[in-house]
Every structure is written in C-alpha cells, then in structure tokens.
Structure 1
C-alpha cells in the first residue's frame, strides 16, 4: 500500500509588538531541530535580520536558513511578496518551515489576511500548495501585554475560524504579572486557541547573560556546551519545553 506524502508545514511566528521574544522562540526551535535537515528557518525581518544572526549555526547547512525580503524598491512592505515566497518554498524537499516575522512585517499580516484576501481564499491557497499553515502568536507580559493581546485578537478575527492559532506565552516576562497570564489563558480558552510557554529563565542573572550571549553570537549546541554545565542544563530545559 502506497504511503501518502508528508504534508509540508509553514509555521508563522508573529507579533507586531517588538522585543517580545519571537526570535528567541525561533532560536529555541532551531536548537531543538539543529540536526533535522528537513526543517528550514526563514528570517522575515527586513530591518534587524535578528534570526539570520542568531541562527548562524545553521548557515553552512544546505537549505536550513534563508531570508524573505518583503520591502519593495520604495522600502515599503509589499505584502503579496509573501505568497510568491511561500509558493517557491513549497517546491523544496524540506518538510517544515519556520518564518520569523519582524514587528513591521507582523503588523501587515492582519491586513494581508483581510484586505488582500480573506481566510477562505488563504485556505484555497494552502490546499492548492498541498501544505498546512499554522499561526504562532508570541505574547509578553508587563507593559507589552495589552499590545500583544490586541494583536492576537486581530489574528484571531482574521484566520481563527479556519486556521490553528497557538499562543506562546513568554514566561520570563510574566513572572511579576500573574493576573495578566490568567487573563491571557482565559482569552485563549474562550477562543479555543492552544497555549504553550517558553523562555522560563530568571532575568538579570549570570546564567541568563550566558544564554543570551550564546544566542546573540549564533551559537549552536556546541557553543552551549562550551558555556558550562549550568547553562547547558538550563538550555536543555528551555528546549525541552518547545513542542513544534
């Protein structure tokens, strides 16, 4: 009996509020799948290119790290470029794609899914390519919380009836804001969105500094090992918490 082909997955990691942990989440995912050559990571951030720097350890491996530039000749975001890029990526042999959107690019996603086309048309595009689209919205606590949840609801209104949405709670940023976390969980439950946690690390400590330094240098597992037993043990826990 002939086995059915594996459905390729496109994971959109998004949040219009900057500095909430999108690229750190992408880094943890990349570390988890460092040896899995079927997974490709895409930097969709035309300004800072954070993932390109942080995932340097994948750069020498074929088809593991790439960029999508959505800026046109006037340095404005051309939303339709995303569809052309996704169609090109879908022709590759790789099975799973992670797209780390910068804040300006993330901000355009709701408009892309409401003005340029509706969610039913996006579903048709997904079916035409024979792939699966999944939306991962990062939410941080503290002063970033309201903006993050507002954006989450925009995505939910745009695609929530058709596509799966996973809420990624940046645990580090909610340590002093338990009520915000409870509220976020309640919103996700009401809207039937999945919830995951990541980044559970005490801020402003030597251990956190070691880990962040490794991330910023684009170190893979070999660099983490060189940082010492405590850093390796903590990173193992952070990576283990990643489910995609």
Structure 2
C-alpha cells in the first residue's frame, strides 16, 4: 500500500509549511515525494525542492475558479499518486484547500466510502492537522473537531501542536494539557529554541541550498532535537 499523508488546517499561518519542511529534511535520503496544494502561496514547492530536489516536489490545483473543490480533482490526484513510482507522499494543503476537503466529507463523499475507494487504489491515508496557539487556537481546534467527526475513525488522525506559537513554553504546556483532555492523538513540534538559534533555523529554511552544518553549535543541537521529534511523529 502506498502511504499518503495529508497536512491540513483551514486556518492560515499555523505552521503547516514549517512542519512539512522538517519532514522533507527528515526524508531527503528516502524516496518520499511531496505535493504542494497551497494554491494561494505555493511556498512549499520552492522550499521543499531546495531540500529534496525539484523532481520530488509537484504542485497540483484541486480548486476550481470559484475556489471550490471539485470531487473529480481530488480523486484524480489520488489516482495519479496510485500510479506513480514513489511509495510515500506528503501533501501540503493550504487553508482554502483544507476547508474544502472537510466540506467534501460533509456533503459529497463519506469517509467510509473514501477509505474503500483509496484501498482499491492501493492507498493508505494518514491525516495530520496542525494546531497553533494564541488567537488561532479556537479555530484550529474547531477544524480538528469537525474533521474528526467526519472521519469517524476511518483514517489515522493526528493533532500536531505548533509549540512555537503560544508565547512561551509554560503557556504552550498548559495548552497541551487542556488539549489532551480531548482524548486526541497529539504530537508536538515547532519549538525552535530562543534567541539566535531561532533566527539561524528560520534563515536555514529560506536558503536555496539549506545545510544544517552551516549553523552554530546551539542551533545545530536544537535542529537535531527537532528532527528527532519529526522521527517520532511520522514513524
């Protein structure tokens, strides 16, 4: 079975691109490929291509001219992945695309039917929903809750809490404890450290040929810690 991993959140600016960049670094020696569906920015394509090579990253549009998802477009994407060479994919959904994927499940194709159709194509789907803090927290959790309801346990669903968006580690840890009360499969990422380490890692993400060895020792240590977190999340 091919493994297809969806990165979703209908709220923009929560860290989906940050997460998938770290995944690309983690998977650059593997045969994993990446799909950028974020039509509004397409920031992932260039950044991921700099890590794994342009031939392993592809942009794909699933929204029509009215910014609505057509069932045929998402199905054709899955059909294309089923016939492609790679055995593992990560698909970066933009905020509008994420909202439309939820709408698809609510109004067009139920999760059990989608699971069966994907199984017939030889695809095992796994879904990650990124959750950020501060003003984004409520809308992020609401999206996760609505999606979880529609999925009805048909696909593995993981909440990814971006710890760097809560305004301090203590605030983030309190939020995580509250989120755990929801009984969700919850993983943490995104705390890039303090001071110069944050700047160096963020600068690295934007480089055309990112090499972690060019950073200072503290930054390299934090980067390696983040990579171990990604290992545990995507295992």
Hey, what does 1:111 align to over in structure 2? 103
Hey, what does 1:211 align to over in structure 2? 201
* Alpha-carbon distance in 2 for matches of 1:120, 1:208: 42
Give structure 1 regions of 4+ aligned residues with deviation exceeding 3 angstroms.
Answer: 58-62
- Give the TM-score of the pair, scaled to structure 2: 0.90
Q: 1:163 to 1:86 in 2, by over 3 A?
A: same
- Give the TM-score of the pair, scaled to structure 1: 0.87
Residue 79 (str. 1) matches residue 79 (str. 2): no
* Long gaps (5+) in structure 2: none
Task: Indicate the RMSD between aligned Cα atoms, in angstroms.
Answer: 1.7
Hey, what does 2:176 align to over in structure 1? 181
Q: 1:150 to 1:121 in 2, by over 3 A?
A: same
Q: 1:20 to 1:218 in 2, by over 3 A?
A: farther
Q: Do the aligned residues in 2 keep the contact of 1:55 with 1:218 (CA within 8 Å)? A: no
* Long gaps (5+) in structure 1: 1-6
Which structure: greater helix fraction?
Answer: 2
Q: Aligned to 1:241, what secondary structure does the other structure show?
A: helix
Hey, what does 2:223 align to over in structure 1? 235
**Per-residue deviation, residues 81-126 of structure 1 (Å, max 9, x unmatched):** 1110111111112111100111111111111112111111111111
**Per-residue deviation, residues 26-64 of structure 1 (Å, max 9, x unmatched):** 011110111112x111111001011112213246354x1
Q: Aligned to 2:4, what secondary structure does the other structure show?
A: strand
Shift of 1:207: 1.4
Work out which of the residue numbers 206, 210, 214 in structure 2 matches 1:226: 214
Shift of 1:75: 5.0
Q: Aligned to 2:112, what secondary structure does the other structure show?
A: helix
